[in-house]
Amino acid sequence: MSIRFDNRVAIVTGAGGGLGRSHALALAARGAKVVVNDLGGAVDGSGSSAGAAQRVVDEIKALGGEAVADTNSVSTPETAEALVKTAIDTYGKLDIVINNAGILRDKSFSKVELADFKLVIEVHLMGSVYVTKAAWPHLQANNYGRVVMTSSASGLYGNFGQANYGSAKLGLVGLMNTIKLEGQKNDIRVNTIAPVAATRMTENLLPPAILESLKPELVTAGVLHLVQENSPNGVILEAGAGYYSLVQIVEGAGVKLGAEASVDDVAAAWDKIADMSKATPAFSSNEKLATIFS
């Protein structure tokens, strides 16, 4: 094992099962001290139990690793603060934050209750905001930080019945896009994982033969790359079944229609405007504006 996390303190949210458990075990196996956070509720976010996080801590300790359980919910500012406090009180500092906790309240847009829409945003998007915001001053003081957002193909591309989840998941990319810039001067790097894995979230959605190939550990390999010392900054990594690919937001080369452009001109030029063959990404909106006005 050449990539190590000795002397690193990591928070993994939603680490009582599924992907978070796998990330926590792998970080601990490579030397990190891990705060295993989990509220211990059901897939839809109902209920809670202290057992989930503690079981993973017991597993880590049985393997000779260091970990502490935390049962705070990520979805309020106060409990997110308390979660970060667990890391600081127990281990004295914080280096790595993996925002992974999540729930589902799937329904088509016409049927979804606004309360369920808000709840999903509150756990995935605001939960990552609350935890990362509470962690940020510690990462700044540390002059080092690695933060991961957990997105999803549902947010990047869309998925029937997941308007709430997709909104939250793409919102996380927007969050990353700005704080990856703001963190640079303190060597805080922020990346996003878009996983596919067999967990309780997907166990009823995919056939068993496919689920067998979707081991959480294969996503974890990608996540650990995103939080290691030589990590990239500001990437979206898709990972599942041993397949790893980058996702980027790109913009077409565009067409200059000038100061008098009308809807008729836009319609007439549509094929050229929609030509993505020379599309390019940008690291910031300033970079993109520079291209537009060049």
* In the complex, minimum distance from the CB of residue 257 to ligand NAI, in angstroms, rounded to a whole number: 39
State which residue, 195 or 234, has the beta carbon closest to ligand NAI. 195
Which of 5, 11, 18, 56 forms a contact with ligand NAI (CB under 6 A)? 18
DSSP E strands: which ranges in 75-178?
Answer: 96-99, 145-150
Q: Is 128 in the site for ligand NAI (CB under 6 A)?
A: no
Q: Is 191 in the site for ligand NAI (CB under 6 A)?
A: no
**Active-site positions?**
165
* In the complex, minimum distance from the CB of residue 264 to ligand NAI, in angstroms, rounded to a whole number: 43
Q: Which two tokens stand for residue 234?
A: 């500001």
* In the complex, minimum distance from the CB of residue 79 to ligand NAI, in angstroms, rounded to a whole number: 8
**Contact code string over 137-176 relative to ligand NAI, x by CB under 6 A:** -------------x-x------------------------
Which of 76, 93, 9 is closest to 39 using CA atoms? 76
Q: How far apart are CA 112 and CA 240, in angstroms?
A: 29
State which residue, 26 or 74, has the beta carbon closest to ligand NAI. 74
3-state secondary structure of 1: coil
Q: How far apart are CA 233 and CA 227, in angstroms?
A: 10
Residue pair 245/212 in contact by the 8 Å Cβ criterion: no
Residues 205-264 interacting with ligand NAI (rule: CB under 6 A): none
* In the complex, minimum distance from the CB of residue 53 to ligand NAI, in angstroms, rounded to a whole number: 8
Which of 23, 27, 28, 38 forms a contact with ligand NAI (CB under 6 A)? 38
**Contact code string over 40-69 relative to ligand NAI, x by CB under 6 A:** xx-x-x------x-----------------
Q: Is 20 in the site for ligand NAI (CB under 6 A)?
A: yes
Which of 103, 129, 135, 176 forms a contact with ligand NAI (CB under 6 A)? 103
Q: Tell me whether residue 252 is exposed, middle or buried, using C-beta atoms within 10 angstroms of its C-beta: 0 to 12, 13 to 18, 19 or more.
A: middle
The structure tokens 């937001």 sit at: 249
- Name 229's bridge partners: none
Distance between terminal CA atoms of the chain? 47
Q: How far apart are CA 16 and CA 147, in angstroms?
A: 19
Phi/psi of residue 275, nearest 5 degrees: -75, 110
CA-angle at 213, arms to 248 and 124, nearest 5°: 50
- The binding site for ligand NAI (CB under 6 A) comprises 13-14, 16-20, 37-41, 43, 45, 52, 73-75, 100-103, 123, 127, 150, 152, 195-197, 199-202
